[in-house]
């Protein structure tokens, strides 16, 4: 729950337009990267205000029980969708806390229709909620989460990540473009 002093989130003036595909923030990301063979390949789009929608189809590599998605994978999908709110706020943030509810089992082959919205901001603390529905964007809720993200600077990654991957990311022009987009803040 956001503290009493928290304020309403503000959509960045240069945020992608509602409906626009956000693309991957890192091609090796388990959530959204195109180069992760067993990743979620989650595709997120900007929504109205400070919200996003996303889809992810459960693959056989994502099972926990026979024919059913692993709960941790579903949480990863919620985490990634909430993380995509960064594109709308134009702030780099990492998950500090994520509390999840598993409401319905999600079979392999099902598409999880996710939506996330930022509910409040308190200094570096960013609060958000997400749901994942099955059977269509208006289908029943299968999973949901409330999260606290914490704003960080780019050095959170450069000083904590493994040097090989950091170096590779820094020499990839697409990655540098993503990093720059987040460094330019009013």
Binding site for ligand 3VV (CB under 6 A): 25, 31, 79-80, 83-84, 86, 92, 94-97, 123-125, 148, 150, 152, 157-158, 166, 169-170, 175, 178-179, 182
From the CB of 165, what's the least distance to ligand 3VV, in Å? 9
Q: Tell me how far, at minimum, the Cβ of 67 lies from ligand 3VV, in Å.
A: 27
| Min separation Cβ 2 and ligand 3VV, Å | 11
With respect to ligand 3VV, which residue has the nearer C-beta, 3 or 109?
3
Q: How far is CA 83 from the centre of its chain?
A: 3
**Smallest separation (angstroms) from ligand 3VV to the CB of 138:** 25
User: Tokens 């994978």 belong to which residue?
Assistant: 73
Distance (Å, whole) CA 130 – CA 103: 13
> What is the C-alpha radius of gyration for the chain, rounded to an integer number of angstroms?
16
Identify which of residues 20 and 124 has a Cβ nearer to ligand 3VV in the complex: 124
Cβ-proximal residues to 36 (8 Å cutoff; 6+ apart), any chain: 28, 29, 30
Ranked by CB distance to ligand 3VV, the top (closest) residue is 83
Q: What is the torsion angle, in degrees rounded to the nearest 10, for the CA atoms of residue 10, residue 14, residue 18 and residue 22? A: -110
Distances (CA, A) of 19 to 49, 103, 133, 137, 161: 12, 28, 19, 14, 32
Which residue, 104 or 157, has its beta carbon nearer to ligand 3VV? 157
- Please say which residue, 108 or 150, places its beta carbon nearer to ligand 3VV: 150
């Amino acid at each position: 729950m956001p503290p009493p002093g928290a304020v309403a989130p503000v959509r960045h003036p240069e945020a992608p337009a509602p409906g626009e595909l956000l693309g991957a923030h890192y091609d090796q990301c388990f959530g959204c990267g195109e180069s992760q063979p067993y990743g979620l390949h989650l595709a997120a789009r900007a929504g109205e205000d400070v919200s996003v929608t996303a889809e992810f189809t459960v693959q056989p590599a994502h099972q926990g029980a026979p024919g059913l998605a692993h709960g941790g994978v579903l949480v990863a999908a919620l985490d990634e969708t909430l993380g995509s709110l960064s594109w709308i706020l134009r702030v780099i943030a990492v998950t500090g806390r994520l509390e999840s509810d598993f409401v319905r089992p999600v079979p392999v082959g099902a598409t999880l229709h996710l939506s996330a919205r930022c509910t409040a901001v308190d200094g570096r603390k960013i609060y958000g909620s997400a749901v994942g529905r099955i059977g269509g964007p208006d289908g029943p809720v299968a999973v949901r989460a409330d999260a606290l993200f914490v704003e960080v600077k780019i050095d959170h990654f450069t000083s904590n990540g493994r040097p090989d991957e950091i170096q590779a990311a820094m020499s990839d022009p697409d990655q540098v473009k993503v990093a720059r987009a987040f460094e330019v803040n009013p």
